[in-house]
Chain A
Amino acid sequence: MTAPTKLQVNGRAVTVAAEPDTPLLYVLRNDLALNGAKFGCGLGQCGACTVLVDGQPVRSCVTDLSAVAGRSVTTLEGLGTADNLHKLQRAFIAEQAAQCGYCIPGMIMEAKALLDRMPEPAEAEIRNALADHLCRCGTHNRIVAAVQRAVREG
């Protein structure tokens, strides 16, 4: 076993004892018991596993643990909690923007990155930012509406 890896997750310093090529997704879900990021494809194609690394959206299923050593990772849990929701989470609830909900954490994280760089995106910009995120339930238009609501309600 190689040396443990140190990183920041949701503002907390953590040390993980896992092989350096372990996908970040498995570290988040299994070592840190964080449910937000989901396994969808493991191939970087669907976006269900999206988290922020130093503020940038990355697909944690194809990101090695070693690549985030010393860096700061934010998951859905890091945005807000059930009692203290982030504006995006509040907007997704208000719009009931989920059917099965499996794709939603990735959508919210991508939207967070979008709003951080572009606080008032047009609808087409939201759709383009989410173009590589798949949803099978057909919740797309509600997801867009939720992001727009988060922009509006701030």
Chain B
Amino acid sequence: MRETLTRRGLGQAAAGLTLLFSLAPAGAQPRLPGSLQTNRRLDAWLRIEPGGVVTVCTGKVEIGQGAVTALLQIAAEELDVAPSRIRMVSGDTALTPDEGFTAGSQSMEQGGTALRFAAAEARAILLDLAAARLGAPAAALAVEDGSIRAPGGAATSYWEVAQAASFAREATGRVAPKPAAQHRIVGTSHPRLDIPAKVTGGAIYVQDMRPPGMLFGRVARPPSYEAKLLSVDLDAVRALPGVVAVVRDGRFLGVVAEREEQAVKARKALREAARWEVPAALPDPARLHESLRALRTDDSVPSEKRADAPPAVRRFQATYTKRYFAHASIGPSAALAVYAADGGSVQVWSHTQGPFPLQRDLVRVLGLPADKVRVSHAQNAGCYGHNGADDAALDAALLARAVPGRPVMLQWMRDDEFQWEPYNPAMEMRLTAGVAADGRIVDWGHEVWSNHHNNRPQNPREGSNLLASWHLERPHPPVYPRATPQPNGAGDRNAVPLYDFPNQRVVNHLIPEMPVRVSALRTLGAYANVFALESFLEEIAAALGEDPIAFRLRHLPDPRGRAVIEAAAKLAAEEPGDLPRGFGFAKYKNVAAYVACVAEVALDRATGAVRVPRVWAAVDAGQVITPDGLRNQIEGGIIQAVSWTVKEDVPFDPQGILAKDWNDYPILTFPEVPRIRTVLLNRPEAPPLGAGEASQAPVCAAIGNGLARALGRPLRALPYTADRVKAAMVG
């Protein structure tokens, strides 16, 4: 048995905590790998079931990126069983480990690491039991799909030797998982578990649940964040066909009906029956960044370096901005909830990214004991971060409370999602640099102004971040998180350069007050910080007359980063073209996957429309667990970020959010989607690195740098929507 305490995965603690390596023991207990640290019992993760089945439990959930399939592959690999034997149970507060949120591309690092060690240890326990039964040393036994064979031919299986109590113990984390060279399942493109059902109409999304007696719910939200309810006539709505309940609690309004179309009609009637006062509470959109900068900030310095260096002979500075963009899930948020007939307990099926944190907020808002609120994960359309999922779970529970014993399917309408989801925050970045006589950057400054990027349910002692909780008669105050430490960061994510500058200072101006509701959306602040950093670097290179790739490499000692940059440049060079191109690079969070992108940019000078016909990308995500899944995520991230960059801008005015449907908030369409070529640099002996959010920021920077070439000058304000680019061209 190999001592494994030095593996990098050991230091990776639960969601929201630091990813930095730490040897400090948690209390007297040994530090365990990944999420094992916070879920220490083996039987929380694995069970050998009768009939040749293995149950694997994960607190991570499927959000459309294949995480649960990848976790299954890991368990199958370490246990030496066929993937088809494994039954996955995911994200259920009654059944699975608490692994916080499925977010930040950390499923493999946290949940995957935990399962790898738990399964390796489970296999060792089963082999010890088999050794006793077969009278052969455990080391001499061979395992094939759960069948165990001794050298003389005597055989048994996991299912014969496993006892109920076999895994009823704490994990030790001391059984070494297989070395990568022995992997047969991990590293192959295992078909996703969920895709067959998704292409044949199988029941797989929360909206596909139809328990007997189910009713349909809709909410009638205020017209704006701060709107006051002056009056509402509920009786007229109660009298509508099929209406079972009309709920009013403060300015939370909702309906429950026998049929879905009846609920939709009742919602419309309820909205018409309500009279609201709508104050002008949002900033003037034309002065957005000035308004935000005027708010109070909590300042911190996430990175500061001082070293001897030659003096700067040239100084540069530039300010970059980005506005709000939306998750804009294709399926509006939904949830199923049912209260027990006595009203004493509730179960909610939700597409939340964090069943356990959601459960804790629900407990507080619903006023039930913790063991009377169960949250079970069920899929919906992709969320890409904190969208309306958790809010819909509370909405469903509030409506179900009015009809105990009957399940309520709550579905948001399109405008509910667009108007109320928490967007990715607006940001402003001010960069400064000093360049020495030898052309090296010797001094770097990056200041960022942003709201917090993570306003999910937080598990505080009081307050709640669930939307409806703010609208109740007795409202719960929102919870403002403190700055998230580096390397994760939030608004300052990727504000610390990976490049080596002898002197640097990064300042995070966290703006607690949120005039516009915002929270976690893929990459958090990394998208805008990398845009600013990589744009600024190219502006400096251009001013110095330097080749932008060579200029990057000169400042980047990290060999894996250099390899990715060179691979992307080479890939793009294989396909020459006439359109201007730009380059962008980042190592996501400075601890996850490396991605470099080249983007081709076509500017329509008449309309200002920016198109991105082709993108080339190089990726180093450490050991590749499932190559096809990795490509799918990288390419999906590129397409989504092209859409953010050239199409998306949440419209609002001082009275409220103006986005109600896809006409108000267009996204990239098929004819506009770039062709993408990706090269994966596999590092079988390096830990797997999260990649679901690694490509967005580099591709944005690449578009910015390509557009600067097309325009002959940088355009430092995102997004590059046609009207804004056109205005910048004439302005």
Q: A42-B413, A46-B662, A82-B202 are in contact. Are A102 and B260 (CB under 8 A)?
A: no
Q: Are A35 and B669 touching (Cβ within 8 A)?
A: no
The answer to whether residues A138 and B635 also contact, given A18-B259, A45-B661, A102-B331 and a CB cut-off of 8 A, is: yes
In the complex, the answer to whether B199 meets A101 with C-beta atoms within 8 Å is yes
Contact in complex: B205, A102 (CB < 8 Å): yes
Are A48 and B675 in touch, CB under 8 angstroms?
Answer: no
CB within 8 Å of A: which B670-685 residues:
670-671, 673, 675-676
Q: Which residue of the partner chain, among B199, B204, B381, contacts A89 with CB atoms under 8 Å?
A: B199
B198 touches A101 (CB 8 A): yes
Q: B263 — nearest CB in chain A belongs to which residue? A: A26
Min CB distance, B57 to chain A, in Å?
Answer: 22
Contact B670–A89 (Cβ < 8 Å): no
- The digit string for A70-105, where 1 denotes a CB below 8 A from any CB of B, is 000001110011100100010011001011111111
User: CB-CB < 8 A to B200: which residues of A?
Assistant: 36, 76-77, 80-82, 85, 89
Binds A, one of B278-286, B636-644, B714-722: B636-644
Bound Cα distance A101, B636 (Å): 12
Beta-carbon contact of A133 and B195 below 8 Å: no
Interface check A149, CB cutoff 8 A: no
B194 at the interface (CB under 8 A from A): yes
CA distance A23 to B260 in the complex (A): 10
Is A136 in contact with B330, judged by CB distance below 8 angstroms?
yes
Flag if A19 contacts B661 (CB, 8 Å): no
| Cβ contacts under 8 Å, A144 to chain B | 670
* A47 nearest CB neighbor, chain B only: B330
A89 to B195, CA, bound (A): 10
Q: How far is the CA of A137 from the CA of B200 in the complex (A)?
A: 19
Which A residues touch B673, using CB under 8 A?
Answer: 127, 138, 140-141
Chain B, residue nearest A89 (CB): B199
Judge whether B195 and A92 touch: CB under 8 Å: yes
**A23 touching B210 in the complex, CB below 8 Å, given contacts A76-B200, A96-B628, A105-B201:** no
Q: Which residue of A lies closest to B326 (CB)?
A: A136
Closest to A34 in B: B201
Residues on A with beta carbons closer than 8 Å to the beta carbon of B199: 76, 85, 89, 92-93, 98, 101, 104-105, 108
B637 near A138 with CB under 8 A, answer yes
Flag whether A121 is at the interface (Cβ < 8 A).
no
A interface list, Cβ under 8 A from B: 18-19, 21-23, 26, 29-30, 33-36, 38-43, 45-46, 48, 75-77, 80-82, 85, 89, 92-93, 96, 98-105, 108, 124, 126-128, 130-144
Contact B637 A45, beta carbon cutoff 8 Å: no
- List 13 other contacts, CB 8 Å, given A81-B200, A100-B330, A139-B632: A26-B260, A100-B331, A101-B194, A101-B195, A105-B199, A130-B670, A131-B671, A136-B330, A138-B640, A140-B639, A140-B670, A141-B639, A141-B675
Distance (whole angstroms) from the CB of B705 to the closest CB of chain A: 21
- Interface pairs (27), CB distance under 8 Å: A22-B259, A35-B201, A35-B208, A39-B207, A40-B381, A42-B264, A46-B662, A77-B200, A89-B199, A93-B191, A96-B189, A98-B192, A98-B194, A99-B65, A99-B632, A100-B380, A100-B382, A101-B195, A104-B198, A127-B670, A127-B673, A128-B670, A134-B330, A134-B667, A134-B669, A138-B673, A140-B673
Could you tell me the distance between the alpha carbons of A80 and B275 in the complex, rounded to whole angstroms? 50
B201 near A101: Cβ-Cβ < 8 Å:
no
Give Cα distance in the complex from A142 to B197, angstroms. 18
User: In the complex, which residues of chain B have a beta carbon less than 8 angstroms from the beta carbon of A40?
Assistant: 330-332, 381, 414
Residues on B with beta carbons closer than 8 Å to the beta carbon of A138: 635-640, 643, 673
Is there an interface contact between A134 and B662, defined as CB atoms closer than 8 Å? yes
Interface string of B237-274 (1 = CB under 8 A from A): 00000000000000000000001110010000000000
A136-B382, A136-B667 known; A96 vs B639 contact (CB < 8 Å)? no
Is the CB–CB distance between A93 and B413 below 8 Å? no
* Closest A residue by C-beta to B334: A39
Contact B670 A93 (CB under 8 A): no
Closest partner residue, chain A, to B639 (CB atom): A138
- B663 contacts the other chain (Cβ, under 8 Å)? yes
* Contact residue among A35, A133, A134 (Cβ-Cβ distance under 8 Å from B203): A35
Q: Are B261 and A26 in contact (CB under 8 A)?
A: yes
Residues 627-662 of B, flagged 1 when their CB comes within 8 A of A and 0 if not, give 011001101111110010000000000000000011
Q: Which residues of B contact A42 (CB under 8 A)?
A: 264, 413-414
- Residues of chain B with a CB closer than 8 A to A75's CB: 201
**Bound: A103/B191 CA distance, A:** 19
Q: Is the CB of B381 within 8 A of A136?
A: yes
Bound together, the chains give a CA A34 to CA B629 distance in angstroms of: 28
CA gap between A80 and B259 in the complex, in Å: 29
Query: Nearest CB to that of B329 among chain A residues?
Result: A136
**Given contact pairs A82-B197, A144-B670, A39 touches B332 in the complex (Cβ within 8 A):** yes
Closest to B381 in A: A102
List the 9 closest A-B pairs by CB distance, nearest first: A100-B64, A138-B639, A101-B198, A138-B636, A102-B381, A100-B382, A36-B201, A140-B673, A127-B670
- Does B454 have its Cβ within 8 Å of any Cβ on chain A? no
Q: Is the CB of A76 within 8 A of B331?
A: no
- Point out which of A29, A39, A124 has the most chain B C-beta atoms below 10 A from its C-beta: A39
Chain A's nearest CB lies how many Å from the CB of B577? 18
Q: Evaluate contact between B667 and A43: CB separation under 8 angstroms.
A: no
CB contact under 8 A between A137 and B636, given known A101-B194, A105-B201: yes
**In the bound complex, do residue B640 and residue A137 qualify as a contact, i.e. CB atoms below 8 Å apart?**
yes
